[in-house]
Structure 1
Amino acid sequence: MFGLGKPRTKLGKWLDQRGIKQEWLCRESKLNKVTVSHLATKTDYLPSGSTMKKVLQALRKVDPSVKQDDFWSM
């Protein structure tokens, strides 16, 4: 899947590097697949605070050291 020319955000690249599917993030964060797709592909998309929190809680199951600044600059 990677390297096919699709745009990826920092979060999308992080998922790709670890072999984690967006479907997994949907299930773990209880977010809609459209929202997760935007998070992984749209560089200009800034999620709400509650969405960020859900994503980070899910990602910390894989890497407890993940922080908000790794994906979104505030």
Structure 2
Amino acid sequence: MRKFHPPRSRFGLWLERNGISLMELSRKSGVSHATLSFLASGSSQRPSRLTERKLRPVLREYGVDTTDFWDLGL
């Protein structure tokens, strides 16, 4: 039986490749698990400014930035 793999965004693929769980990122950033799951899905949604502000310092700890995943029009 084939394993089902849901579509993933660049952010979701990065999480998988680096073994970072949504729970871990949620705990460190203060962003809800549901929001992170939505951003990691194949949707073309980008984070709100508040979510981006919470994620940016945590992602920088991993050597990446929010602009590596989303065009935020900054």
**TM-score normalised to structure 1 length:** 0.80
Q: Deviations over 1:16-51 (max 9, x none)?
A: 111111111110111111101111114222211121
Residue 30 (structure 2) aligns with: 30
Determine the C-alpha separation between the residues in 2 that align with 1:12 and 1:56: 16
Q: Which amino acid aligns with 2:68?
A: D
Q: Say yes or no: does 1:16 pair with 2:16.
A: yes
Distance across 2 between alignment mates of 1:62 and 1:44? 23
The two structures, once aligned, show a CA RMSD in angstroms of: 1.6
What are the ranges of 5 or more consecutive residues in structure 1 without an aligned counterpart? none
What is the total number of aligned residue pairs between the two structures? 70
Distance 1:62 1:68 in 2: 11
2:65 corresponds to 1:67: yes
- Cα separation, 2, equivalents of 1:7 and 1:46: 16
In structure 2, what is the Cα distance between the partners aligned to 1:32 and 1:14?
A: 18
3-state SS in 2 of match to 1:47: coil
TM-score by length of 2: 0.80
